[in-house]
Structure 1
Amino acid sequence: MLLSSTLYAVYNIYCNNNIYRDRNNTFYNNTINGNTCNNFNYYTNNNIYRDRNNTTYNSYNTNINRDTYNHFHYYNNNIYRDRNNTTYNINNRDTYNHFHHYNNYSCPEYVIVNYKSYKIKLTSDTEVVQVYVNDVEMKPTIQLGDIIITTTAITVLVNVSDIKAEILVSKQAVSVKLPFSYFHGNTEGQCGYCDNSIANDCRLPNGKIEKSCEYMAQFWMVPPGCNPPPYVPPRQPSCAPEMYNACELIKGKFFEKCHKVVPYENYYDACKYDVCTLKNKSVACISLEAYAQQCGLQSVCVDWKNSADLKGLCEYKCPSHKVYKACGPKIEKTCSTRYNDEFVENNCQGKNCQKTFMEGCFCPDNTYLVSSTIDKCTRNCDCIGPDGLPRLPGQTWTFNCTMYQCSNESFGIVKEPITCPTIKPCGHEYKTTIENCCPTCVCDHELCLQKKCDVGFELAANTTNNSCCPPCVRKEVCVYNNTEYKPGVKIPVDTCEECYCEMNKMTQLHYVKCGTKVHAPCPPGFEYVKQEGECCGMCVPNMCNYTADNKTYHLQDQEGYKFRCTTATCHELNGTFVMMESIKKCPEFNPEDCEPGTLKFDIDGCCQICKSRNCVLEKNVTRLHVDDCTSVEDVEVTSCTGRCDTKSMYSMNTKAMIHSCSCCKEESTGHRNVTLKCADNSEIVRDYKYIKSCNCTPTKCVD
């Protein structure tokens, strides 16, 4: 980015090699009124200027121009390069509440101008420069008190007449022009300190002077800024000459007329630097445009974009209704004489301002811009209608219910109101409205939206003939008690009835079908009991339902069922039938005590039994009964069973038969208690003899 510090004097005095020369080719030595010429800075007409803060400055009737594009070029013509992607303060001017912020990375992204209560943001990273005033996008031309913002399609110009400042922004460059009389010694930022000295250009915000302007740049970031990489001194890149052929135009004959008023060396160097650094030939267009722009500001017209040497490299296409002009006016004339007097002529800065050239898209020759807000061109400005559009003599048009005509005689506008025919009163569901400036009847759609149908009906999708609103048509529902029900849905009615919404297949009409409820038969083990206040009774159990051996048995109260080891008994408790089960406990059993082939189950099929082969203790589980009393639980009782030896033999001594007999009898016994429950629900305790062991005991044989 180049920040040009060239000071353009009103009297066109310029400096070269410490020699001053004016437009009449009169030469001076290297000082004028004691002011030394430093690096092409110009001074004329030394006088005293007092600003609004009553501060006195040396005022030289000159302007300061600061041009930026990938390089910074100070007011005092000191140059450095910066390619960091961040936002900088390029110029702070507290005295006039005038600040410039600039966001840069190779090409400018946007510029923010703060002046008084206005924040003007100009985006230059878009195809066309966009303008935002207090964060609201606006289209030039824009007038904000002392500020006028215009555009040439390629560039946007912000002119602050109160302080005679100009900010020029294009897609590729930014230029800030300030009056030396207002800003001498009163600038800071990346533009430098404007005092015609290069010694203090690299100044930090704290006033310290740095040797390296590249290093200084990071301190002028707009908060919060960023963390720049470590500073590395810039190196001049190199590339093949054919890469920067376009740059040669700057120092060639094409710009020869401009060399005398705007030094070209810095633009040429910047052009080569950019092309070789970015390895892109088209980047040369940035420097060419910036230099041509400065030439135009000094009344030197250079139609550089159409140069055959560029071969269309920097070609720019304007909208179809406009043409490209390399040397157009700074502010284009419109059909408005007041606008032209206010901005095109009266408010131009400097005696030669009408010779200032700006490139851009302008109306073709012999045509005018309709207005500052209507981007159209016209040959005739005599008839500009209230809609802001131009009309030809004899042309008629309607606007806001008034007929207009561009008069052939007076070349002025003649207007007359439109006459409307009488209409009849509007009918039902219609309302009166204005169409083509005359009253007419139209459907009142708001009334149609408010139209409601009865229950079971809805608005039809289409209207019928001679009807504005659609009619109410029957819905595919049943209506019962002012409620809609869809087909198949059960309708809540009396408890003894059941109703459903059904459709007649013949008539396609829907109706409610009802029937009396019928109670289903009760299953076995249940009985039907009516309920008071209810339409239908209910099935309640009247016996026990017991399932065993894959069968269900219905048992009355106190009725039992025995299945193998389990005995189940039905009991009624507080109207509820429940089953109580008891499981028989089998006595200890040793199959070895059995005679072979006698092993089997008892009569219940629960416990194993057999025929004992010796005298053994046999245990059994049973309920004991005494009179009308029964043990409350099974009781283990024992007995002695089995065979004992018995023999008969002849005795020679006695000459008779000898008989020997033994009986299977108890060997030891004990007593146990048992609780019995009687028929009257009383309980008694009895004891019984319990055999502990058995043995074969000799006994007398009975003949």
Structure 2
Amino acid sequence: MCNCTVARCVENNTIEIVPYECPPLENITCANGKKPVLAYDEYHCCQQYHCDCVCEGWGDPHYITFDGLYYSYQGNCTYVLMEEIQPKYNLNIHIDNVFCDPDEHVSCPQSIIIIYGTQVFKLKNHNVIGRVNLEALKDDVRLKLPYSHRGVKVMNTGLTMVLEIPDREVVITFGINGFSITLPYQHFGRNTQGHCGTCNNNQNDDCMLPKGKLVESCAVMADYWPAKDHPDCTIPTKPTIKPEPEPIPSPCKQDTICNLLKSSVFAKCHPFVSPENFYQGCIYDSCRVFNRSIECTSLQAYAAACAQEGVCLHWRNYTELCSSDCPSDKVYKPCGLAEQPTCEDIPEELTMNFTTEGCFCPEGKKLFNRESGICVEKCGCLDPEGIPREFNETFNYNCQSCTCDESTKTISCKPKMCLAQTLEKCSDPGYVLINQTNPLDPCCPTSVCQCQSDTCKINDVNVNCSVGKILRVHAGKCCLEYTCEPKSVCVYNDIEYQSGSSVPGKKCQNCTCTSAVNPKSKLLEVQCKPQQCEKTCKRGYDYVETKSDECCGKCVQTHCILIVNSTMQLLKQGETWTSPEDKCQRYSCDKSGETLTTTSSYTVCPPFQQSNCQPDTIQTAVNGCCTICMEKERACKLVPMKTRITIGSCQSKEEVDMPYCEGSCNTFAKYSEAAAAMQHSCSCCKEMRFSNRTVELQCSDGKGVPYAYMHVEECGCHHTDCTKSAGQHVRRRRSFTLL
């Protein structure tokens, strides 16, 4: 009855009310290695020692049941970790395992699903091996952490997510160290089944099938606990013998970090939590999974178990493989309150003070609130940018003067007042007066002179430079500056001259552009010297002074210059000269305008044949060129002739020499007494000597053909027969042969 009293029937409908007597307190030993805890009985009158239900899983994966039984299971599906045999609190917990190393067919826990009444939560790690990537969902909608609603809290420490049900003292963790489920024995004792076994401090009945049948191997039992909403999982029809993997006696890798579990790093925790199961799981993973980060999960799970026993270990400092990665404003702590202190904490609010590793505020700071994640030294207000402000602190925000009000714990703002400013004038070219933000006070505008190059003007006087100067552009304060700078040239009569070139200067002077620079004009200087007259003339010319307005005289031609056979002859105007070697060639000097020019003429002699001359009459003509004589009268002689030979459509290109014979010979007729008849004697003019010659004829079709003819070289009288008809004349004899 109430107030820890008992109603007892004595007799005759007599009821005796007496105080409830508690049984004696007995010490017990927990099969899972945890410390027993004192808890009230169902009447909340007497305390007894009980062993709370703690189930752990990590790696690929390895399980320790509520009662401390260790086994490994490689299923690839969603399974029941824990469910109530007799529904009392409507709590069910599932695990979703996926293959994390397909080559070895080993699986790792990817998410844990908590079903509490009508609420469904999922704690998920998107990277099952390696750096943590955690996410919490409710009814498949992502939660903004921390979350607290309808008796459930969800927190994230950066490395681990924690789900608490304070009314039932339930704590569930999930993260890079796998998972852990802590249930109070007084609420869930003797009423659990699934992969985590039965929570009754007895390992013998942990490998129980859904209908209560026991098997020897929990790895066999695990196949029979697929979640009901995952029909794709294969369920064996009969239990099969599936022996546990034999523990691997020694590490497969020399550089494994598993040995740290048995070293001095964790020695402080060995009396409270045995490292054997965690070491065996670590070696198992090290030998079967390629990614070495899997080894960290065994060390993380063991450190988490130690933290629940009050032993806090800074083990991550001893290995780079499992180093923590916290943001710059947080620090890593191996044991920190999952529900971190905040400025908004209410002392009366129920909290479980569960510790876990994670990223926490540094010493001396606390969270401003659970939603911000901002660590502050003093509590106050958060400004609109999420920056913490102390009470009564005044600051500027968005050109407003704001204060953190202690009474309301809110930010109150009013417009900022700006001082009046004096306007200035801009005198430099290109500068204009504009309003801009004051760098000393961004909320108040100020007037400054600012360069705007599009307002610059070009001075036309400077752009058009004089002769000898070039336009140069320089960068000024704002606008471009134009200057005319002297070139390296001489300037004379507005004409530029390069150094070393001739300059048409003063009369009767030779001027040159030098490389010397005039110090005043910065141009090159012109130097002049008197002009030197050249009075030496070549042969045939005489130097003659000219008019007074000219500086020098000039060479005037007085003779014609004739060079024959490398010999120079000077001829005056009208004078002639005949070469001694060739009397037929004659030269004369004639004037054409102001120039004396040499002309030549050649005498062509008439044909001369010595055989046609009378003896002793051969002589040279008066001109000294031709040979003449007195010719024989009508004598037979060689007559020269030139002709162009034509045969059909073929003709010689040029005239050829073709002399012939002409003249009379002695012919008579007289009576011969001896013969008693007329005696005749006849002779004719004919060729006495000739030669054969050949010439090429060009035909109309473009082809050339050779042609042979007789060339007469000597003529004479030759006796002939007189019986032929009288009056027959001696004819020219020609003989043509076309080859």
Normalising by structure 1, we get a TM-score of: 0.48
Task: Look at both structures and tell me which one has the larger radius of gyration over its CA atoms.
Answer: 2
Normalising by structure 2, we get a TM-score of: 0.46
